[in-house]
Amino acid sequence: MAGEWEDLTLGDLGRVVTGKTPLTAVEGNFGGQIPFVTPSDMDGRKSISTTARFLTQAGAASVKGSVIPAGAIMVSCIGSDMGKVVIAGRECVTNQQINSIVVDDRISSEFVYYSLSTRKNEIRHQAAGGSAVPILNKGDFSCLEITLPPLAEQKAIAAVLGALDDKIELNRRMNATLEAMARALFQSWFVDFDPVRAKLDGRPLAALDPATAALFPATFQDSEAGHIPKGWTIHPVGEVVDCVGGGTPSTAEPKYWEGGTHHWTTPKDFSSLQSPVLLDTDRKLTDAGIAKISSGLLPGGTLLLSSRAPVGYLAIAAMPVAINQGFIAMKCNERASNFFMLNWCQTNMAEIESRATGTTFAEISKQNFRPIRVVLPPKELMAAFTAKVAQLYAQITANLHQSRTLATLRDTLLPKLLSGELSVVATDKESLSVQNTSKGG
């Protein structure tokens, strides 16, 4: 070790701030540009600069003591979200469910972030008991212990872990851009009919190669859905793709689950997806378990739409998968590819949701989903669209796989670096190396 590690409390690191919510009844508190952070905004990002709601200067001034600067570490300290950690990317305000640490100059915010990000269970354990909703108040939060190396080592450790997170974040942004490109192409071709309108107006289709441009007609026709390109057709979605449901084998029967190798998914697996591609599932089934589900093991490439709790999660399965009863699975084909139907569902989500029923929670049945009408282009144009966007989704999938590998590496290094089992040393002016060591010397 390059220096001695020091045992401190979170309160020793700087100023601890408990957030506060400005009065919502006061006009002018919300709608500005100052992020107002709640636990729901803490969605896995390392740093937060944008949130669901923003405060005005007046709103921030009304809770002046709760304004925290960029670099502060925010920790959710109440309820099921307890233990989430994030760094403030800019000046912001949090609600009362979050305690923040405004660290001194002698402390690396990123090191503290990484240290606390491994301690969710410990933070929950320290919460006040005797209540249905666990709470870690400011005093008890401030007393949580933390071990810190000298500042130079803090920064070196944070730099190694941060480089991995930065690449993961870059992949996330790249995927968001790639997905937006696919949506824009779908919108242009199949919603706005831009190439058809250009031909009708005598304008050149500069963005399309001649072969693809030739696949679009130059006129429209009347239909039950209004004007659509000539030669295109309208069908109930249930006649275009095979829509199936799933089930849950008895969880009391070990032979369905123990040692299972077949992916089995529920909408819960979709809650943390940042791109519409499913790579893994929390639980797996045995052959006997698969046999208990009428739809069986669905092939890779199947499009999955959550039909309840909530309605509207979407992803293409990257591998064979079985589903529970919370999905409508679409087995697509050349007539309507999975990439086409994914974008169609995203574009028509308002109508899909409007067909959901239920008193306890909204649910759309296959019976209500299948009649929704879909406008289809000729098969040659469908193939051209699929070929173009398949490249985008292939890159999205590759980025997701890389990010999973990087996250695994980060999570492996994290406890070893924070405990001093591994150390970071400079190999030259621009490079760092991780080496075996021990906290004792």
Q: What is the pLDDT of residue 225?
A: 87
| pLDDT higher than 60, residue 427 | no
Residues 6+ apart with CB under 8 A from 409: 164
Residues 6+ apart with CB under 8 A from 385: 185, 186, 189, 190, 337, 339, 340, 377
Residue 429's pLDDT band, with cuts at 50, 70 and 90, is: low
Percent of the chain past pLDDT 70, that is, above it, reads 95
Q: What is the pLDDT of residue 309?
A: 84
Asked, colleague to colleague, whether 6-148 and 176-395 share their fold, the answer is yes
Q: Between 130 and 53, whose confidence is greater?
A: 53
Per-residue model confidence as pLDDT tens digits over 290-343: 999 999 999 999 999 999 989 999 999 999 999 999 999 999 999 999 999 999
Bridge partners of 306, per DSSP, are 327
Q: What is the pLDDT of residue 112?
A: 96
Q: Mean of the pLDDT values across residues 11-40?
A: 94
Q: What is the pLDDT of residue 128?
A: 60
Which is nearest to 147 in space by CA: 182, 186, 107, 185?
107
| pLDDT higher than 50, residue 440 | no
Which is nearest to 199 in space by CA: 221, 215, 182, 183?
215
Residue 349's pLDDT band, with cuts at 50, 70 and 90, is: very high
| pLDDT higher than 90, residue 72 | yes
- Average pLDDT value for the chain: 92
Length of the chain as a residue count: 441
Domain locations in the chain? 6-148, 176-395
Residue 426's pLDDT band, with cuts at 50, 70 and 90, is: low
| pLDDT higher than 70, residue 211 | yes
DSSP string, 208-233: S-HHHHTTS-S-EE--TTSSEETT-E
C-alpha distance from residue 359 to each of 213, 309, 324, 356 (Å): 48, 12, 21, 10
What count of other Cβ atoms lies within 10 Å of the Cβ of residue 33? 10
CATH pick for 6-148 out of 1.10.1030.10, 3.90.220.20, 3.40.50.300, 3.30.420.40: 3.90.220.20
Per-residue model confidence as pLDDT tens digits over 251-302: 999 999 999 999 999 999 998 899 999 999 999 999 999 999 999 999 999 9
CATH 3.90.220.20 assigned to domain 176-395? The reply is yes
| pLDDT higher than 90, residue 91 | yes
Per-residue model confidence as pLDDT tens digits over 102-145: 999 989 999 999 999 988 888 888 776 546 678 899 999 999 99
Q: What is the pLDDT of residue 358?
A: 86
Q: Is 90 within 8 Å of 35 (Cβ atoms)? A: yes
